[in-house]
Amino acid sequence: SQKIEQNSEALNIQEGKTATLTCNYTNYSPAYLQWYRQDPGRGPVFLLLIRENEKEKRKERLKVTFDTTLKQSLFHITASQPADSATYLCALENYGGSQGNLIFGKGTKLSVKP
Amino acid sequence: DVKVTQSSRYLVKRTGEKVFLECVQDMDHENMFWYRQDPGLGLRLIYFSYDVKMKEKGDIPEGYSVSREKKERFSLILESASTNQTSMYLCASSFSKLAGGFADTQYFGPGTRLTVL
């Protein structure tokens, strides 16, 4: 079955630096991969989706890359701010499951210090 | 904007009680999901539904049941609550598969923090 891993449980960085979060998966390569943000006590919120034929995708200070050879996605936040502090989840299709079924990583908790 | 609402933000119940968690979405989504989220375990899928009156078991369905009588509403039922069901419960919804047949973006509710004493 598909497995998804986010290498770091927690990442601490200084304000203004670039945060880089990693998502690795095993087995099959998905057609696309999604990133979500979750604040404490709240539900996840969708941020970005990148397709397998897209090497890179950007949205404001966010950048996502997708390397199907390495079976890895990187999520970057440039010029990070304390307000970026949250848990970030990656997700992809639970292949073999019924339609619409995503599998989520356990998340990386990002703390941006002023 | 898509809105997914859950009936309670916080809920305290006693062991053995029957518990209903309600979820409503306002975007005519076909798919609806119930997850629980625990520290160190991440999001785990309990049940999902891809149409009215349809349901499928997720990874951890034991001790739970669901009901989807209307498209916009998906209920999670704990038939006899136990202390190990203390958790954050999250409901989500999505459109049916994108063109090409793959999982779509999910929209989550705010969550219900359930404590079973």
DSSP β-ladder status, A86-93 and A108-113: antiparallel
Question: Cβ separation of B97 and A100 shorter than 8 Å?
Answer: yes
Q: What is the mean pLDDT of chain A?
A: 90
pLDDT in tens, A58-77: 999 999 999 988 999 999 99
In this predicted structure, what is the pLDDT of residue A66? 93
In this predicted structure, what is the pLDDT of residue A72? 93
Give me the mean pLDDT over the B83-107 stretch: 80
- In this complex, the residue of B102, B107, B113 whose CB is nearest that of residue A31 is B102
Q: Pick from B20, B15, B113: which is nearest to B73 by CA?
A: B20
Q: Pick from A103, A99, A95: which is nearest to B97 by CA?
A: A99
Structure tokens at B70: 């209307």
Which residues on chain A are in Cβ contact (under 8 Å) with B50?
Answer: 98-100
Pick from A35, A98, A103, A109 the residue to mutate for testing the B interface (most B CBs within 10 Å).
A98
d(CA B103, CA A104): 12
In this predicted structure, what is the pLDDT of residue A8? 81
pLDDT in tens, B44-59: 999 999 889 889 999 8
SS3 A63: strand
In this predicted structure, what is the pLDDT of residue B103? 58
In this predicted structure, what is the pLDDT of residue A100? 58
Pick from B102, B112, B113, B115 the residue to mutate for testing the A interface (most A CBs within 10 Å).
B102
Which residues on chain B are in Cβ contact (under 8 Å) with A107?
Answer: 42
Residue B101 has pLDDT above 60, yes or no: no
Residue A29 has pLDDT above 90, yes or no: no
